[in-house]
Amino acid sequence: MDSVDTEVLKSAVAWLDAGRKATLATVVRTWGSAPRPIGAMLVIRDDGQVAGSVSGGCVEDDLIERVREHRLASSKPEVVTYGVTKEQAERFGLPCGGTLQIVLEPLTQQSGIRQLLDIVARHELVTRRLDLESGKISLASAKWSDVLEFDGKLLKTVHGPRWRLLIIGAGQTSRYLAQMAQALDYQVTVCDPREEYALGWDLADVRINRGMPDDVVLAMNMDAHTAVVAVTHDPKLDDMALLEALKSAAFYVGALGSRLNNDKRRKRLAEFDLAADEIARLHGPVGLPIGSRTPPEIAVAILAEMTAVRRGVALDLRAAKPAAAAVATTDPLACGS
């Protein structure tokens, strides 16, 4: 559950605590060029105030009007579909062929939203099941492989950190990378066995693991929702993590350092039990070449590339990298192991 959806549910709890009524809207199916993904949420207060979005502004006004006038989900959950016809798509401003199916649920203090947020705050995954006929809900532990499910009668949504990021090294760049990654719905773990770095780590909501990097990678059981980024500049630590991460199902594996040093790194990795296609998975130099120099800029570049890979977008901007940036000795991306 990304940070935007968390804020939607927090708004719902605040409104209920203030004695207001609230209705939760969740996108459960899309066809064609839908403007928002499955799972997107919107909460509507009884006076029409909203938090979140289910269509980027296309159908919100209609939903608000119908909920405020008690024509939708006034006493029990309901399903509404927008964009089935060409006329509807034109009326609501949906993209050509775009269709949304939305479940609307009147919330109460018994809807379990506060308990759900408490679980998410502990960085745990949780499923919320809603029976549309009775309006009853239940919460249960979730697995990383769980996804939203809707069969017309039962809606199961998954909440919590849907993506994981393991950062090797607890330096300054790691701090910015961890903070920015959390805003993008990553559960972040930092691994650094070096006492001088680990003792200085003070981000309370990002846990640090003092184990050896290869052991940590194996223990985390990397899947396709996991990324690994090595930023220590120490090949004894970075390479240990990369040796295991490149053999795993992690969707992104990157290492900080110049192009030259990453070429040397690939040669070192080839001396171990890694296949050529596994070594080819390494993103090194890590991040998009946007001229990053400061730690926060480097973090932006890394997360931009991770997002592109995560979304299946092919980007190759390295050929367009300015020559000055490529050789600048003060560029942090140009240094390292």
- How far is 327 from 146, CA to CA, in rounded Å? 45
Contact indicator for 26, 73 with CB cutoff of 8 Å: no
Same-domain status, 176 and 249: yes
Same-domain status, 207 and 112: no
pLDDT surpassing 50 at residue 111: yes
Q: Per the domain annotation, does 155 fall within a domain?
A: no
Q: Per the domain annotation, does 143 fall within a domain?
A: no
Q: Per the domain annotation, does 221 fall within a domain?
A: yes
pLDDT surpassing 80 at residue 3: no
Same-domain status, 96 and 174: no
Paired residues of 101 in beta bridges? 29, 81
- Which amino acid is residue 320, in one-letter code? A
What is residue 48's predicted lDDT score, i.e. its pLDDT? 93
CATH number at residue 195: 3.40.50.720
Same-domain status, 214 and 95: no
Question: In the chain, where do the E strands start and end?
Answer: 22-31, 41-45, 50-52, 78-82, 99-107, 126-131, 137-141, 149-150, 154-159, 163-168, 186-191, 207-209, 226-230, 252-255, 282-283
Phi then psi dihedrals of residue 320, to 5 deg? -95, 5
- How far is 216 from 210, CA to CA, in rounded Å? 9
Same-domain status, 31 and 116: yes
Same-domain status, 177 and 76: no
Determine the structural domain holding residue 276 and report its residue range: 163-318+327-334
What is residue 172's predicted lDDT score, i.e. its pLDDT? 94
The pLDDT-based confidence of 214 (bands split at 50, 70, 90) is very high
Same-domain status, 186 and 303: yes
- How far is 304 from 296, CA to CA, in rounded Å? 12
Query: First CA to last CA across the chain, in angstroms?
Result: 35
What is residue 324's predicted lDDT score, i.e. its pLDDT? 32
Same-domain status, 173 and 307: yes
The count of structural domains within the chain is: 2
Q: Per the domain annotation, does 114 fall within a domain?
A: yes
- Mean pLDDT to the nearest integer, 320-326: 37
Q: What is the pLDDT of residues 78-96, one digit of tens each?
A: 999 987 566 666 666 665 5
Select from 125, 144, 176 the last residue of a domain: 125
Same-domain status, 176 and 114: no
Residues ≥6 apart with Cβ < 8 Å to 67:
23, 44, 73, 104
Same-domain status, 182 and 307: yes
Q: Per the domain annotation, does 274 fall within a domain?
A: yes
Same-domain status, 193 and 70: no
Which token pair is 12?
């719902």
Q: Per the domain annotation, does 199 fall within a domain?
A: yes
Q: Per the domain annotation, does 223 fall within a domain?
A: yes
- Mean pLDDT to the nearest integer, 19-26: 96
Q: What is the pLDDT of residues 140-172, one digit of tens each?
A: 998 877 889 999 999 999 998 768 999 999 999
Q: Per the domain annotation, does 220 fall within a domain?
A: yes
To 5 degrees, how large is the angle CA 66–CA 70–CA 71? 55
Same-domain status, 45 and 190: no
Select from 109, 125, 141 the last residue of a domain: 125
Select from 66, 98, 125 the last residue of a domain: 125
